[in-house]
Structure 1
């Protein structure tokens, strides 16, 4: 009997201690509060600020603000002048000197452009040939140069238009001197009257080759001497 009472007491004590330990480990559950509209709970949802306006700001409409610009210091340039500065000379003297130089250059250029203004003697040549072939051509641009050819003062070719290909005539030589003259009747479009000429013997071998540059009305002349035949 005593044993049964002790067993019951011990069992009751163990169950009491176990109930106390379980009661200490249990957490307190707080029931959730039911909310009909989630937007009313400011702690759960943070809504952004609404801005449905798409209109521009009327106060700043059409206003354009440009950034301020700073002008950099720029050194002043001196005006270009062809006249060398000279504080101690009269500027009129400089202009007069330049004018003289310009006129000199122009005169030299015109002289080169117009060709020789005096007769050009292009030499004396001797041959045993009885007949020669005289040919000539414009060795520069074809610009309309025209010549006249004389033999011993008589017109042999009255009017010849010089071109890049050769033209000419045969001449039977007189014993002794045969003076052949080429007269420039014009200067063409680019001036002066220019030509290259040759004189060929009866074998077709050139023994005279030369050129002329003539102003209008000026002549280039050569002398062909027919040598006497040996007896």
Structure 2
């Protein structure tokens, strides 16, 4: 009886006792991590062109790129022209007009400064006769005549003084292309170099008659002969 009573008390104490753990007092929720939307576009920055605008401030909220994209163009622009050149040219033009108006400079605006092309002449002749004289007043015009074949020039007359009457120049022709150049060696005393010419074949038939008028020193009258 005594042993049974002691054993019963021992079993009762261990069977009714429970261990409880209280929850922590700080129950604040853990913040969620926000992930940027996949469709949101991050702000981009555009770098200013420091070559054209050194004091530019980089703007916010624009796309980042260096300089500006420009399409390729063969059109000539005036980006690198010195503005002072325009002022200089206008000033020189004004001075030139003033000198001409006061008789201190010759007005040569009427002088032709580019070569004159008299076209193509076809012939079966072995040679041509070119007749030249001054056109207008006799004022000391000088010309040089050269024929060119296969890129090789041959001087026919080095310094011909044009007078009131015709001077004849014989031009021998090779098969194919032949070129004749009459170069003005000076301006006349009364203006530009002037001349009248006539070209005949070997049968005496005139092929062309014309003139050059008020051309500058160094300007050429050009002819193309094709021997067929």
Q: Normalising by structure 1, report the TM-score.
A: 0.51
SS class of match (1:116)? coil
CA distance in 2, matches of 1:225, 1:109: 39
Q: Structure 1 residues 159, 211: closer, same or farther in 2, change over 3 A?
A: same
- Which residue pairs with 1:111 in the alignment? 109
SS class of match (1:132)? strand
Following superposition, the deviation at residue 108 of structure 1 comes to 11
Following superposition, the deviation at residue 196 of structure 1 comes to 0.7
SS class of match (1:110)? coil
Following superposition, the deviation at residue 126 of structure 1 comes to 0.6
Alignment of 1:201-216 (within 5 A): 201-213=201-213, 214-216=215-217
Following superposition, the deviation at residue 187 of structure 1 comes to 0.9
**Greater CA radius of gyration, 1 or 2?**
1
Following superposition, the deviation at residue 103 of structure 1 comes to 2.4
CA distance in 2, matches of 1:155, 1:172: 12
- Which residue pairs with 1:140 in the alignment? 136
SS class of match (1:103)? helix
SS class of match (2:108)? helix
- Residues 1:131 and 2:132 are matched in the alignment: no
Alignment of 1:73-222 (within 5 A): 103=97, 109-112=107-110, 115-152=111-148, 153-213=153-213, 214-222=215-223
SS class of match (1:204)? coil
CA distance in 2, matches of 1:189, 1:209: 25
The root-mean-square deviation of aligned C-alpha atoms, in Å, is 2.6
Q: How many residues align?
A: 128
Q: Structure 1 residues 212, 199: closer, same or farther in 2, change over 3 A?
A: same
4+ aligned runs moved over 6 Å, structure 1: none
SS class of match (1:203)? coil
CA distance in 2, matches of 1:204, 1:110: 39
CA distance in 1, matches of 2:155, 2:172: 14
Q: Structure 1 residues 155, 111: closer, same or farther in 2, change over 3 A?
A: same
SS class of match (2:112)? coil
Q: Normalising by structure 2, report the TM-score.
A: 0.51
The structure with the largest helix share of the pair is 1
CA distance in 2, matches of 1:130, 1:161: 27
CA distance in 1, matches of 2:120, 2:106: 30
